Chains A and B, each alone.
Chain A
Amino acid sequence: MTSLPLTRRHLLAGTSSVLALFSVTAHARTYGAGTGLPWEPNGGEPPLPINPQGWLLFTPAEARMVEGIADRMIPADTLSIGGKEAGCAVFVDRQLAGWFGQSTRLYMRPPFMNGLPTQGLQSPNNPILQYRTGLAALEAIAKKQFSNRSFTDLKPDEQDSLLKDMEAGKLEVPDGYSSKAIFDLMLQNIMEGFFADPIYGGNKDLASWKMLGFAGTRYDHRDFVDKHNQKYPLPPVSIAGRARI
Chain B
Amino acid sequence: MVRKLPSKDVVIIGLCWTGAILAHELTDEGLDVVAIERGPWRDTASDFPPSYAPDELRYAIRGELFLQPKQETFTFRHKPNEMALPIRQFVSFLPGTGVGGAGVHWNGQTWRFLPTDFNLKTHLTSRYGKDFLPADMSIQDWGITYDELEPYYDKFEYLCGTSGKAGNLNGVIQEGGNPFEGPRKRAYPTPPQRQPYGPTLFAKAAIETGHRPFPQPSSNLSQGYTNPLGVTLGECTFCGFCERFGCGNYSKASVQTTILPVLVRKSNFEARTNSEVLKIEKDSTGKKATGVTYIDASGETFFQPADLVIVCAFMLDNARLMLLSGIGKPYDPVSGEGVIGKNYSYQLTSGVTAFFDDKIFNPFIASGAIGMMIDDYNGDNFDHGPMGFVGGGYMGMGQTGARPIQTRPVPPGTPRWGSEWKAATAQHYNSTISFSTHGSNYSYRDAYLDLDPTYKDTHGRPLMRITYDFHDNDLKMSGFLTDQLASIVNAMGAKQVVKSPRKGPYDTSIYQTTHVCGGVIMGEDSATSAVNKYLQSWDASNVFVIGASAFPQNAGYNPTNTVGALAFWAADAIRTQYLKNPGPLVQS
The residues of A with any CB-CB pair to B shorter than 8 Å are 22, 24-40, 43-47, 72-75, 77, 79-80, 100, 103-109, 111, 113, 115-122, 160, 167, 187, 191-192, 195-197, 200, 208-209, 211-222, 224-226, 228-232, 239
User: Given A40, A103, A116, A217, which contacts B54 in the complex, CB threshold below 8 Å?
Assistant: A217
CB-CB under 8 A from B64, the residues of chain A are 22
Give A227 Cβ to nearest chain B Cβ, in Å. Answer: 8
**Contact (Cβ within 8 A) B365 A225:** yes
CB contact under 8 A between A225 and B423, given known A196-B57, A197-B55, A212-B429: no
Contact call B405/A109, Cβ cutoff below 8 A? no
The 0/1 profile, CB within 8 Å of A marked 1, for residues 285-312 of chain B is 0000000000011100000000000000
Question: Which A-B residue pairs are the 10 nearest by beta carbons?
Answer: A28-B296, A43-B46, A34-B267, A107-B69, A228-B197, A217-B54, A73-B417, A196-B57, A221-B238, A220-B237
Q: Are the C-beta atoms of B274 and A31 separated by less than 8 Å?
A: no
Q: Contact: A73 with B58, CB < 8 Å?
A: no
B15 (CB) vs chain A CBs: closest residue: A31
Q: Are A118 and B78 in contact (CB under 8 A)?
A: yes
Contact among A118, A167, A192, A230 for B360, CB-based, below 8 A: A230
Query: Does B265 contact A34, Cβ atoms closer than 8 Å?
Result: yes
Q: If A35-B264, A225-B365 touch, does A26 touch B404 (CB 8 Å cutoff)?
A: no
B88 A75 Cβ-Cβ under 8 A: no
Q: How far is it, in angstroms, between the C-alpha of A32 and the C-alpha of B194 when the chains are bound?
A: 37
Cross-chain contact B87 with A120 (CB below 8 angstroms): yes
- Shortest CB-to-CB span from B64 to chain A, Å, is 7
B364–A215 touching, CB < 8 Å? yes
Contacting pair A73 B418 (CB below 8 A)? yes
Q: Is B266 a contact of A32 with CB atoms below 8 Å?
A: yes
Q: List 28 A-B contacts (CB under 8 A).
A: A29-B41, A31-B99, A32-B263, A33-B269, A37-B43, A40-B46, A44-B45, A72-B417, A73-B418, A79-B426, A106-B69, A111-B454, A115-B85, A119-B76, A119-B508, A119-B509, A167-B416, A191-B405, A196-B57, A196-B405, A212-B408, A218-B239, A219-B54, A219-B241, A221-B238, A228-B197, A229-B197, A232-B362
Question: CB < 8 Å: which of B239, B364, B405 contacts A220?
Answer: B239
Q: Is the CB of B404 within 8 A of A105?
A: no
B contact patch SS: loop
Chain B residue at smallest Cβ distance from A117: B509
Residue-wise interface mask of B (229-249) relative to A, using a CB-CB cutoff of 8 A (1 in contact, 0 not) = 000000101111100000011
Q: Give the docked Cα–Cα distance between A103 and B273 (Å).
A: 24
Knowing A31-B264, A32-B266, A217-B54, say if A187 contacts B272 (CB, 8 Å).
Answer: no
Q: Does B382 contact A (CB under 8 A)?
A: no
Q: Contact: A222 with B264, CB < 8 Å?
A: no
B218 near A: Cβ within 8 Å?
no
> Within the complex, which residue of A30, A75, A212 is in contact with B404, where a contact is CB–CB below 8 Å?
A212
When chains A and B are docked, how far (Å) is the Cα of A29 from the Cα of B54?
28
What is the predominant secondary structure among interface residues of chain A facing chain B? Answer: loop
How close is A63's CB to chain B, nearest CB, in angstroms? Answer: 19
Residues of B68-88 at the interface with A, using a CB-CB cut-off of 8 Å, are: 68-70, 73, 76-78, 82-83, 85-88
Q: Is B524 an interface residue (CB 8 A)?
A: no
Chain B residues within an 8 Å CB radius of A120 = 76, 85, 87-89, 91-92, 508-509
User: B581 to chain A: closest CB distance in Å?
Assistant: 29
Q: A26-B297, A113-B85 are in contact. Are A212 and B49 (CB under 8 A)?
A: no
CB distance from B455 to the nearest CB of A (A): 7
Known: A107-B86, A117-B509. A195 touches B269 (CB 8 A): no
Q: Which of A29, A44, A47, A230 contacts B47 (CB 8 A)?
A: A44
A43 to B89, CA, bound (A): 29
A213-B43 contact given A46-B52, A105-B69, CB 8 Å threshold: no
> Using Cβ atoms and an 8 Å threshold, which residues of chain A touch B322?
none
Give the contacts of B251-298 with A (CB-CB under 8 A): 260-261, 263-267, 269-275, 296-298
* Pairwise interchain contact B260-A37, C-beta atoms closer than 8 A: yes
B405 touches A192 (CB 8 A): yes
List of B residues within 8 angstroms of A122 by Cβ: 85, 88
Q: Which of B29-52 contact A (CB under 8 A)?
A: 40-41, 43, 45-47, 49-52
Chain A CB within 8 A of B62 CB: yes
Give the shortest distance, in Å, between B254 (CB) and chain A (any CB): 14
A47 to B456, CA, bound (A): 33
Question: CB distance B422 to A75 under 8 Å?
Answer: yes
B425 at the interface (CB under 8 A from A): yes
B interface residues (Cβ-Cβ under 8 A, vs A): 40-41, 43, 45-47, 49-58, 61-62, 64, 68-70, 73, 76-78, 82-83, 85-89, 91-92, 99, 194-197, 200, 235, 237-241, 248-249, 260-261, 263-267, 269-275, 296-298, 359-362, 364-365, 402-405, 408, 416-419, 422-423, 425-426, 429-430, 454-456, 505-509
In the bound complex, how far is the Cα of B483 from the Cα of A75, in angstroms?
Answer: 38
Q: Cα distance A86–B506 when bound, in Å?
A: 37
Q: Which residues of B contact A34 (CB under 8 A)?
A: 264-267
Shortest Cβ distance from residue B440 to the other chain A in the assembled complex, whole angstroms = 22
B310: shortest Cβ distance to chain A, in Å? 16
A37-B261, A38-B43, A100-B62 are known; give 5 further A-B pairs, CB within 8 A: A28-B273, A72-B417, A75-B419, A215-B365, A228-B196
Q: Is the CB of B273 within 8 A of A31?
A: yes
- Within 8 Å by CB of A27, from B50, B78, B297, B362, lies B297
Q: B425: nearest residue on chain A (CB-CB)?
A: A212
A187 to B425 Cα, complex, angstroms = 15
User: Of B249, B365, B418, B507, which one neighbours A75 at CB under 8 angstroms?
Assistant: B418
CA distance A62 to B70 in the complex (A): 29
In the complex, chain A residues whose CB is within 8 Å of the CB of B69: 105-107
CB contacts (< 8 Å) of A29 on chain B: these are 41, 272-274
Of the candidates B70, B83, B249, which one forms a contact with A219 in the assembled complex, judged by CB atoms under 8 Å apart?
B249
A208→B264 contact, CB < 8 A: no
Q: Which residues of A contact B76 (CB under 8 A)?
A: 119-120
A122 to B51 alpha-carbon distance, docked (Å): 36
Residues of chain B contacted by A111 (CB below 8 angstroms): 454
Q: How far is the CA of A121 from the CA of B73 in the complex (A)?
A: 13
Report the Cα distance A122→B88, complex, angstroms: 7
Interface pair A187/B43, CB less than 8 Å apart: no
Question: B505 → chain A, closest Cβ, in Å?
Answer: 6
Residue from A72, A221, A231 having most chain B Cβ neighbours under 10 A: A221
For A46, A117, A228, which residue has the most chain B Cβ atoms within 10 angstroms? Answer: A228
The residues of B that contact A195 with a CB separation of less than 8 Å are 56, 404-405, 408
A187 to B183, CA, bound (A): 50
In the complex formed, the residue of A with least CB distance to B77 is A119
Among A30, A107, A229, the one with the most B-chain Cβ atoms within 10 Å of its Cβ is A107
Q: How far is the CA of A83 from the CA of B56 in the complex (A)?
A: 19
Chain A positions within 8 Å of B260 at CB level? 37
Instruction: Find out whether the CB atom of A77 lies under 8 angstroms from the CB atom of B419.
Output: yes
Closest to B300 in A: A28
Tell me if A219 and B297 are in contact (CB < 8 A). no
Query: B239 — which chain A residues lie within 8 A by C-beta?
Result: 218-221
